[in-house]
Structure 1
Amino acid sequence: MSRSTPPNEQAEDVDFVQLLFTDVAGRLKTLEVPSARWAEVRDDGWTLDGAVLLGYGDPEHSDLRLMPDPSTFVHRPWSTPSGRTVGMVFCDVLDSAGRPFAADPRAVLRRAVEASEARGQRPVFGVEAEFYLLRDTDTGTGAAGHPADGAGYWDLSVDEQADEVCRDIAEALELMGLTVDGHHHEVCSGQRELVFRHGDALATADRLLLLKHTARVMARRRNMSAVFMPKPLAHLYGNALHVHVSLDGTGTDTGTGPLFHDAADPHGMSELFRHSLAGVLDHAPALTALGNPTVNSYKRLVPASGTPVHASWARHNRSTAFKVAGDTAAPRSLRLEMRSPDPAAHPHLLFAGVLAALADGQDRALKLPEACEEAADALAAGDLAARGIAELPTDLPSALRALEQDAVVHGALGELAAGAVVRNSRSDWAAWHRIVTPWEIGRYAQTV
């Protein structure tokens, strides 16, 4: 995000400032203040009820404080309907003693990054976010909408209304200091992907939240909806969030170059990369709870749907949960690509879990199994067992149990944040089971 404007001048040319933070579910929250109050709020913060962040009331954590991070201040490049201008700034959350609040997702990720840096490793993250551009459908149908275009994978569409939304998004993000590398049409009608420049973990996580918000605003301005839910349309592919991660040396014992590359290895992979990837494979069930955190997530993760349902890795196979991406001739490009997460993931918590899994693989010198260059869901159970390929959780409760039982990933989040994630997700699961769907009525009402 832009850091060129001095903190005392950031709000001089805006009318209001939105103080941004997220709850543990990844929903972007805000308090908006007049720009005349910015200097005071920047220095002193603002009181926050912990229930807003945790998702439930807890007297022990009822009095928290939002503290703006001025380095993240951006000028929103679009005006309100009445012509007012707005600035946006991410906030850290402090507890009643003035310490980073244990369950603040930015604090969770910052702790994980500091642990990596203590090992001489600087994490680099990138994301590719898929979403649908939908037009409103008939009211009362319960459908999310219908695709805004009929184009396909990387097609050049002749209907440019949806393209204009993507251009609006890209232009707005650029004006907020994000470098947009490109956007293209995805496999299904109305489905798009936008890629912005990779960076450090905290900045990338913050920027993904800005991307989602900006996309929704720009789509609405052209009478469409930008929908990031994992599986919005039953008959079309779901939305993925491909997460890319690599490690650079910080100049200590590890050196300063890219740590995942080894020119002598057939795959270009260093021994540290192999141990790191083995760690992510070992902790894949718990990471699924963070990368696929909703009831709807598991409508996307089904066999023969083009989405990964096994904890396997490959160099070229795009159906695996984990893929080694990049060009061996370009050492800095070599990276781990996670293909199972979806855009409902809370990026701060997911990134923290990934870093803990990488470190655990290194500490235990875990052995990386052979790559799986064929579709794992087409292999027989015996073949999967012989190759040590396990299934990923198939529903939300299974993933949450894996998170609770995984001391490494659970520990990276901390008891308070992990407990809130599990509690809120189980509440969603219970709410889902109180709903009787049209499918159930059609299948059972006259037949059982």
Structure 2
Amino acid sequence: MTSGNLTDAEQAVLDEIEEQDVDFLRLQFTDILGTVKNVSVPARQAEKAFAEGIYFDGSSIEGFVRIQESDMRLKPDPDTFAVLPWRQKEESAAARMICDVYDTSTGEPFEGDPRRVLKNALDRANEMGYTVNAAPEPEFFLFEEDEEGRATTKTNDAGGYFDLAPKDLASDVRRDIIYGLENMGFEVEASHHEVAEGQHEINFTYDDALTTADNVGTFRTVVRAIAAQHDLHATFMPKPIPRINGSGMHTHLSLFTEDGENAFHDDDDEFNLSDEAHAFTAGILEHAPAITAIANPTVNSYKRLVPGYEAPVYVAWSDRNRSSLIRKPAARTPAASRVELRSPDPSCNAYLALAVMIHAGLDGIENDLDCPDPVRENIYEFDEAKREEYGIETLPANLGEAVDALEEDEAIYNALGDHVGPKFVEAKRQEFEDYLVDVSDWELDRYLETF
């Protein structure tokens, strides 16, 4: 496989397809709601995919286009090529590439593509002289399946935070997941059992924000596929079991200058944070309610965002405790200085979530927003009067409030673009309305025989 019209990266993919005996390619992209979609093509179509793209019907994808605007084109990113680890033991292998979506009528990138929304945020950062690094910490639950292979909410272990076997019976599953991730190019830093029974966390190293968003989608796919090989169901639902800790996706962010220096570090600052870092933090705090609609996009997300379960609902920052929305983690080196937004959960669309976080922070820098003093006390122990004294607000209490906040925040809403913003709001308003008119098992158990 050779062609003079290919880039070096594209030619390297063709060479690896031949070396790895890859028969099929999954060309992946993500819809507005964060669901990974794919179009499978024979591997022999790879050169055509690079040269011309692969066409698909966009009207069949949630939130993309109307049927009269349906022709879309996938352009694969060769840097995202990876052989799928759960197919390597078969006679032939399958691989995937993540794609950008193009509008065939204009030939331009499709503004409804979440990957494009993130690229727009990164373009803004580049214009300001920054590159953006990010590192998420996605948590998930492993549940047993019933006899028909359907998911239950029965955990297969009784482990707790950092427990070892025999209580942490899923350690073998995590090991296989880690091997699968490493085969796909991840550098895994650590893995451990989380606080709740059946809950786990696997951390991978920080990277540029676009690669990180790509990695989140890949991570979810690998975790689910390898869990299924163990007859387990992996879920990134924020709160699958009531009255225990839910799953979050704490997200670490930093900006680097064009000369490779960490723009967030300052040795002379009490917290080793630069003026840019303080302003970036102030921007996220300022836009936190609107960010919540994107970073916590489901009705279920707000079952996690309640006081008492280690979920950060208070709009403040701290260099010491985890009760605030933003934390400044300890950094061993100047390059590691960063801020950590603790509210996102793993049901979010990582492209959109990172995009609005970045826009919010850059808005803080551009407008030189003043960052409030850190709150070093445990905010969970504050009563309402003390929170008012400190000027600490609370995140939206439900999806409806969050969507209202998003629409009211022009900077964040407009950052999503003319296509994604309205489509996202429309979908989430419908989701919340469906929830409001539903009758839950809790209501039936509590009221049916009482009244």
What TM-score, normalized by structure 2, do the two folds share?
Answer: 0.93
Change (3 A) 1:378 1:415: farther
Question: Which of these residues, 10, 14, 20, is aligned with residue 8 of structure 1?
Answer: 14
Measured against aligned partners, the alpha-carbon deviations of 1:394-429 in whole angstroms (never above 9, x if no partner) come to 100110111111111112111211111111112222
Change (3 A) 1:41 1:169: same
Question: Which of these residues, 120, 133, 141, is aligned with residue 132 of structure 1?
Answer: 141
- Counting only pairs closer than 5 Å after superposition, residues 333-372 of structure 1 correspond to structure 2 as 333-372=336-375
- Counting only pairs closer than 5 Å after superposition, residues 375-414 of structure 1 correspond to structure 2 as 375-414=378-417
2:41 is the counterpart of 1:38: no
| Partner amino acid, structure 2, of 1:420 | K
8 A contact 1:10–1:73 mirrored in 2: no
Q: Which residue of 2 aligns with 1:331?
A: 334
Q: Give the Cα–Cα distance (whole angstroms) in 1 for the partners of residues 427 and 268 of structure 2.
A: 47
Q: Which residue of 1 aligns with 2:5?
A: none
8 A contact 2:10–2:78 mirrored in 1: no
Q: Which residue of 1 aligns with 2:86?
A: 78
Change (3 A) 1:295 1:144: farther
| Partner amino acid, structure 1, of 2:409 | D
Q: Which residue of 1 aligns with 2:112?
A: 103
Question: Which of these residues, 267, 277, 282, is aligned with residue 278 of structure 1?
Answer: 282
Q: Give the Cα–Cα distance (whole angstroms) in 2 for the partners of residues 135 and 363 of structure 1.
A: 49
Q: Which residue of 2 aligns with 1:119?
A: 128
- Counting only pairs closer than 5 Å after superposition, residues 4-403 of structure 1 correspond to structure 2 as 6-12=12-18, 13-55=21-63, 58-59=66-67, 61-79=69-87, 83-95=91-103, 96-136=105-145, 144-158=152-166, 161-251=169-259, 256-327=260-331, 330-403=333-406
Q: Give the Cα–Cα distance (whole angstroms) in 1 for the partners of residues 427 and 90 of structure 2.
A: 37
Question: Which of these residues, 420, 428, 431, is aligned with residue 428 of structure 1?
Answer: 431
Q: Give the Cα–Cα distance (whole angstroms) in 1 for the partners of residues 368 and 221 of structure 2.
A: 40
8 A contact 2:25–2:94 mirrored in 1: yes
Q: Give the Cα–Cα distance (whole angstroms) in 2 for the partners of residues 338 and 430 of structure 1.
A: 28
8 A contact 2:130–2:255 mirrored in 1: yes
Measured against aligned partners, the alpha-carbon deviations of 1:299-349 in whole angstroms (never above 9, x if no partner) come to 11112121111111111111211101132x511111110111100011100
Q: Give the Cα–Cα distance (whole angstroms) in 2 for the partners of residues 159 and 438 of structure 1.
A: 31
Greater displacement, 195-204 / 64-73? 64-73
8 A contact 1:280–1:357 mirrored in 2: yes
Change (3 A) 1:446 1:57: farther
Greater displacement, 104-113 / 131-140? 131-140
**Unaligned stretches of 5+ residues in structure 1:** none
Q: Please give the root-mean-square deviation of Cα atoms over the aligned residues, in Å.
A: 2.0
Q: Give the Cα–Cα distance (whole angstroms) in 2 for the partners of residues 382 and 161 of structure 1.
A: 45
- SS of the equivalent of 1:11 reads helix
| Partner amino acid, structure 2, of 1:308 | P
- SS of the equivalent of 1:243 reads strand
How far does residue 224 in structure 1 lie from its aligned partner after superposition? 0.8
Q: Which residue of 2 aligns with 1:444?
A: 447
Q: Give the Cα–Cα distance (whole angstroms) in 1 for the partners of residues 426 and 90 of structure 2.
A: 40
Measured against aligned partners, the alpha-carbon deviations of 1:48-87 in whole angstroms (never above 9, x if no partner) come to 3333444365246322211111221111122189654111
8 A contact 1:23–1:52 mirrored in 2: no
Change (3 A) 1:276 1:197: same
How far does residue 5 in structure 1 lie from its aligned partner after superposition? 7.1
- SS of the equivalent of 1:311 reads strand
Change (3 A) 1:131 1:361: same
Measured against aligned partners, the alpha-carbon deviations of 1:232-285 in whole angstroms (never above 9, x if no partner) come to 11132100001000011113xxxx311111111111111111111000000000
What TM-score, normalized by structure 1, do the two folds share?
Answer: 0.94
**Unaligned stretches of 5+ residues in structure 2:** 1-8
- SS of the equivalent of 1:15 reads strand
Change (3 A) 1:156 1:4: farther
